[in-house]
A = this chain, B = another copy of it.
Amino acid sequence: MSAPLFSSMMDVPLVIPTILDRLRTLYYEREVVSLVVTGKDEHGAPVPGTHRTTYGDVARRALQLANALQSLGVREGDRVATLAVNSYRHLECYLGIPSMGAVLHTVNIRLHPDQVAWILNHAEDRVLIVENLFAGMVPALRAACPQLEHIIVMGPHAGEGDLLDYDDLIGGFTDDFTFPDIDERQAAAMCYTSGTTGNPKGVLYSHRSTLLHSLASAPKDALDVGERDTVMAIVPMFHVNAWGLPYTAALTGAKQVFIGVFSDGRNVARMLAQEHVTITAGVPTIWMGLLAELDRARAAGEPYDLHRLESLVVGGSAAPEAQIRAFQERHGLTLKHAWGMTETHPLGTVSVLPPHVDLRSDEGYALQAKQGRTVPLVQLELLSDEGARLPHDGHTMGRLMARGPWVAASYHKGEGQGNFIELDGQTWFDTGDIATLDARGYMHIQDRSKDLIKSGGEWISSVDLENALMAHPAVAQAAVIAIDDPKWDERPLGVLVLKAGADAPDHAELTAFLAPRFAKWWLPDAYEVVEVIPIGATGKFLKRELRQQFSAYRAPGATRE
């Protein structure tokens, strides 16, 4: 009898041109600062220089770029690849390419040229915009990617062959551009998973998901971004849209700082201080470098003035509690844990403390070391191996499932369907993580399911052990992997990189160090010291390689009580 009543609200789509329009009107004076390479020093190392522009100019150039790409034949739905560092030009691509209805495809610059070629071919990119620093890859890519029609180089270059120069190209066009009618579910951007298992898979972000992600990232319990902020995303712009920060900052009018290739501790600290950065974001490796530089500068009596810095967002992999404490207690700086994946755009959770918990208390540090709670519109669920819902009690581990308007429902070309499941008639994404959820919604990643150690039918979290080991004064890095065990199926092995000049602690010492915090049967049966733990293109430990390296390993006299 009754039927749904539809509202009388305007049908205004959530599209990226809306962001571009705000930059042209409200925020045209706000600054965009980039560290660019101005030359090389006597050792061949790049020398940084500061480039300053405004959102008004970035918006104008983004529209010139849209006109230029149209003239090259780029049409709605076409993929345009970028192979570039964080800079104002990359921001122009972020805004201009989706605003013409094309798809911004950001490619990881750290991949081998063969992998880049594979991805360009899989995505069927018609145009590649490449930073001059990576122009050396061009001949190989051109040979391997026959569908690539145009290659545009950002920054000074030799100009060989039919390479187009980015600045020259867009300089030939006006910024008078009429946005096409874009359906908010159209693809705006594309990113490939890091592919630590199997081939990389493409995730297509929509205009809708990008706008919703930006809105949900801005409030104080997420990344807390506004016009008075200065945002420096150190996380690369090829890495899940730099966690969406270039869009969030632009939507809210925050000043942006781009670090280019200069992500070492000294340049990071210098830029944080010089540009009065309030919010920065990166993986734990970056913060390790920054912490060392801050300690050095403090000891040398020349500390950086970072009083404007409100949060260092950390993601990609978990920050050890020791690192969180070190920043807070030695430098008064707050690491803010965020969790997400390529498939979640990425923001899923942020570790903001509840009202009654103090930041510097033990409870506060323990909560900060967790991945946090969902931002609005994201839901998490825990499933058993059999697909049953598990309790949110803070200790039951389960397969972590995610759902939300900016979570993928499939990969490009329908690949990897096993990662998406139906639960009570709804699609959920299987993150591949093993996690706990507590009653208030705090999520804690225990492991990647493929890195999991299953000992005597019970799960052991390698991540927890690694974080604890990294708090040991002699340990610089720690990875805990499974080794085969005839009795328990698998047992943990600790693989350690020592701090410079430190002596290797013995098994008994490390066992005693860990014992207060873990069940006895969790403790590694043995430790091996290595020079380096292999790290993948997105900065994560390549445990697959470690497992191969130690595949024949047998622990000396392992027992389990």
Contacts and interface: CB of A to CB of B under 8 A. Distances in A.
A63 interface: no
A10 B215 contact: no
Contact of A7 (B9, B78, B206): B206
A181 B356 CA distance: 36
B12 A227 contact: no
B10 A407 contact: yes
A266 interface: no
A410 interface: yes
Contacts of A406: 9
Nearest to A405: B12
B2 A76 contact: yes
Stoichiometry, copies per complex: 2
A185 B6 contact: yes
A14 B377 contact: yes
A312 interface: no
Contacts of A411: 8
Most buried by B among A10, A28, A220, A253: A10
B205 A403 contact: no
A22 B221 CA distance: 14
Contact of A252 (B6, B182, B183, B221): B221
Contact of A77 (B2, B18, B216, B407): B2
A213 to B, nearest CB: 10
B75 A228 contact: no
A412 interface: yes
A176 to B, nearest CB: 14
A283 interface: no
A212 interface: yes
A83 interface: no
A369 interface: no
Nearest to A379: B21
Interface string A180-216: 0011011110000000000000111110110110111
Contacts of A345: 9
Contact of A188 (B7, B21, B25): B7
Nearest to A424: B178
Interface string A341-373: 000010000001011000000000000000001
A77 B8 CA distance: 13
A411 B7 CA distance: 9
Given A5-B77, A253-B221, A11 B376 contact: no
A229 to B, nearest CB: 8
B226 A220 contact: yes
Given A10-B408, A215-B212, A376-B22, A77 B440 contact: no
A504 interface: no
Nearest to A225: B219
Contact of A26 (B2, B9, B373, B412): B373
Interface string A419-448: 000000001010000000000110000000
B215 A5 contact: no
A427 B377 CA distance: 28
A101 interface: yes
A3 interface: yes
A224 interface: yes
A103 interface: yes
A29 interface: yes
A404 interface: yes
28 contacts: A4-B187, A5-B77, A6-B186, A6-B187, A6-B206, A7-B185, A7-B187, A7-B208, A8-B410, A8-B411, A9-B406, A10-B407, A10-B429, A11-B185, A12-B377, A12-B403, A21-B379, A25-B440, A28-B440, A30-B355, A211-B377, A215-B215, A219-B219, A219-B252, A221-B227, A227-B352, A227-B355, A252-B376
Interface of A: 1-14, 18, 21-22, 25-26, 28-30, 75-79, 101, 103, 182-183, 185-188, 202-206, 208-209, 211-212, 214-216, 218-221, 224-228, 251-253, 255, 345, 352, 354-355, 373-374, 376-377, 379, 392, 403-412, 427, 429, 440-441
Given A8-B410, A10-B404, A220-B224, 8 more contacts: A2-B78, A4-B186, A6-B187, A7-B208, A9-B209, A26-B374, A219-B226, A219-B252
Identify the 3 closest CB pairs spanning chains A and B, nearest first: A7-B206, A2-B75, A5-B77
